[in-house]
Structure 1
């Protein structure tokens, strides 16, 4: 990211880089894709949690704490480096769960789950997506029917990241037509997970089915019918981290491609010496800088500009989500035939970028959110 880091932030970033390089290079990512059912060993995730990956969005009063006082900006540093390494782990979805639980959870809910999230014993997953592909609260079809003092939850959510290894779910459902969040253990009677296919080799997804799951008022996260604001924050956290991750991945892919262009010779001269390719590299470098700046602006807005955060985060996801996969496709073409082989690492990055493009709102959906915000401002003017 192109901004001045404090000494503490730089130390945090360097520690993360060293840990990822030492424990999870691309060769290990490929091995874990085949050998680890979750895409990563739980011991590795716990080591990451010891570095503070899950504490940044949890308040100090709840046992967490950030490096700079802006936890999402700090966490974006981790996301960017994980993007460069195509690192596995339930990083985004657990961050969303940790954030909303710390913000609106009761003391009982916090005591039950936050210590485990902090030390990596518990993985949190957000059940927000609908089988029809929508992430919007108004499109939620999962109903929680209130019967006396309990709620009966029946329906399906998905795709849900890390569903098969999650210890706790935050579920977006409707109560009397109003969006409401519930928090429940993955071992709650009536909850089942079916594994789903995904593009990313080391990130797993599943469909979560709720078969007449009985929940009490203690399972409501926040107030009944008041999940819209929580949903907005959750989507902001997810999209900020995804944008930072895609920015880091694109930075690495462009570096790989430029290096290849200098090493590969054609007609006695390196590919990088041809003017047409220089122009393409210059364009991509300009777009990369825009991607970096946009993702940074989104992280800072989510922390310091609540009046603009929805707009700026959507702008970031719309721009980064559209531009990065396109640039990566161009880098594949610049590599020639080797770029489309299984043995080359380019497809690892492209798989993740294409998948992240759609999660938590595609570029088209983000543009719709921006447009709806502008319409609202004009109507109130």
Structure 2
């Protein structure tokens, strides 16, 4: 997403890349996976010291932005994290920070934003099901009024970082409309079930809510009035996920180019054959299109422009489709070794497939785009 970056943003990009290459390489991820360990929280806090978690948080709560363009800066960081398949809870923390700052009470902001900025706390988002035009649909987790309180019930599927979260931001549907609540992860009635998934660099879980009583203090905003806030969070999440996908694809292409220039077939480098040249050139062109779409979406969502929802879904449609196709072809160009555990390229394939599915498939976003356009 290096289109029209300022000098400060280029510095942020460079410093983030140096840090992750030194402290959060693919070798670290491989070691964590092989030892069946999660990323240590002290390693996440060390990453937070770089300012990544503070980019969407106001200065009064410990936040800052390199260029006063918080979401664009966060997207720059997300892209660099994608290059190393970073296993930390960056996406979850960034979206939660945005949501709490956007709609939280003064008490919620004072309690959670400094902890998110420092990496002391992790907040996961149990996202509502999406309906026509991006609205919250029924099903999933639902809320019913009980006096001044709410009672939650239902199931939230595929929640990022739920098993390490200190709190859960829950978007729910109810008779009054969309509502959001912020609950500590140990709230009675919440059951978190970790999942084994294709993407070994991520923690994903299902969350069940069984008669969870929610007081008014846990509400983010008013009951039934959270629809627009949820939509804004969704757009932020899409931008950051797509930026990460760009990093995944860019690094996978670099690895593929290095390999095909070194690997000899019939006495010539694989990359010297015209068919391979064409495939690599096509992928480089597709990557440029992805970067342009994400750069526009990041700025549109940051500015809450009238086309922000459309721009975010276009970016997801492009990145979801081409991200998977490009990385899969990079694996194919490696031949048999590209399908082995010992080579790093499969980590990129896993993340690309994961990103294609999470937050809506390209087909789902094509449908959403049609509805947003009134078709």
Q: TM-score, normalised by structure 2?
A: 0.95
Within 5 Å, which residues of 2 pair with 1:352-363?
352-363=351-362
Whole-Å separation in 1 of the counterparts to 2:47 and 2:157: 26
Q: Conserved in 2, the CA contact under 8 Å of 1:55 and 1:118?
A: yes
Within the alignment, does 1:86 sit opposite 2:85 as a pair? yes
User: Displacement of 1:310 after TM fit?
Assistant: 0.3
Whole-Å separation in 2 of the counterparts to 1:40 and 1:321: 26
Within 5 Å, which residues of 2 pair with 1:69-148?
69-128=68-127, 137-148=136-147
Give the structure 1 partner of residue 311 of structure 2: 312
Give the structure 1 partner of residue 25 of structure 2: 25
Q: How many residues align?
A: 373
User: Displacement of 1:25 after TM fit?
Assistant: 1.3
Whole-Å separation in 1 of the counterparts to 2:337 and 2:44: 33
Q: Conserved in 1, the CA contact under 8 Å of 2:128 and 2:137?
A: no
Deviations 1:269-324 (A, max 9, x none): 11111112111111111111111111111111111252011001100000110111
Q: Conserved in 2, the CA contact under 8 Å of 1:181 and 1:221?
A: yes
Within the alignment, does 1:191 sit opposite 2:190 as a pair? yes
What are structure 1's unaligned runs of at least 5 residues?
Answer: 377-381
Deviations 1:7-38 (A, max 9, x none): 3222222221121111111111111123354x
Give the structure 1 partner of residue 365 of structure 2: 366
Whole-Å separation in 1 of the counterparts to 2:279 and 2:173: 49
Whole-Å separation in 2 of the counterparts to 1:102 and 1:315: 26
Give the structure 2 partner of residue 3 of structure 1: 3
Within 5 Å, which residues of 2 pair with 1:236-275?
236-275=235-274
What are structure 2's unaligned runs of at least 5 residues?
Answer: none
Q: Conserved in 2, the CA contact under 8 Å of 1:130 and 1:158?
A: no
Within the alignment, does 1:63 sit opposite 2:56 as a pair? no
- Per the alignment, in what secondary structure is the counterpart of residue 55 of structure 2? coil
Give the structure 2 partner of residue 379 of structure 1: none
User: Displacement of 1:173 after TM fit?
Assistant: 1.1
Give the structure 1 partner of residue 280 of structure 2: 281
User: Displacement of 1:214 after TM fit?
Assistant: 1.0
Give the structure 1 partner of residue 34 of structure 2: 34
- Per the alignment, in what secondary structure is the counterpart of residue 137 of structure 2? helix
Whole-Å separation in 2 of the counterparts to 1:34 and 1:139: 40
Whole-Å separation in 2 of the counterparts to 1:175 and 1:246: 34
Deviations 1:181-228 (A, max 9, x none): 011111212212111121111211111111211111111101111121
Whole-Å separation in 1 of the counterparts to 2:115 and 2:188: 21
Q: Conserved in 1, the CA contact under 8 Å of 2:158 and 2:206?
A: yes
Deviations 1:214-258 (A, max 9, x none): 111111101111121111111111111111111111111111111
Q: TM-score, normalised by structure 1?
A: 0.94
Give the structure 2 partner of residue 16 of structure 1: 16
User: Displacement of 1:130 after TM fit?
Assistant: 5.3
Q: Conserved in 2, the CA contact under 8 Å of 1:140 and 1:172?
A: no
- Per the alignment, in what secondary structure is the counterpart of residue 173 of structure 2? strand
Q: Conserved in 1, the CA contact under 8 Å of 2:143 and 2:152?
A: yes
- Per the alignment, in what secondary structure is the counterpart of residue 347 of structure 1? helix
User: Displacement of 1:114 after TM fit?
Assistant: 1.4
Q: Conserved in 1, the CA contact under 8 Å of 2:130 and 2:136?
A: no
User: Displacement of 1:354 after TM fit?
Assistant: 0.3
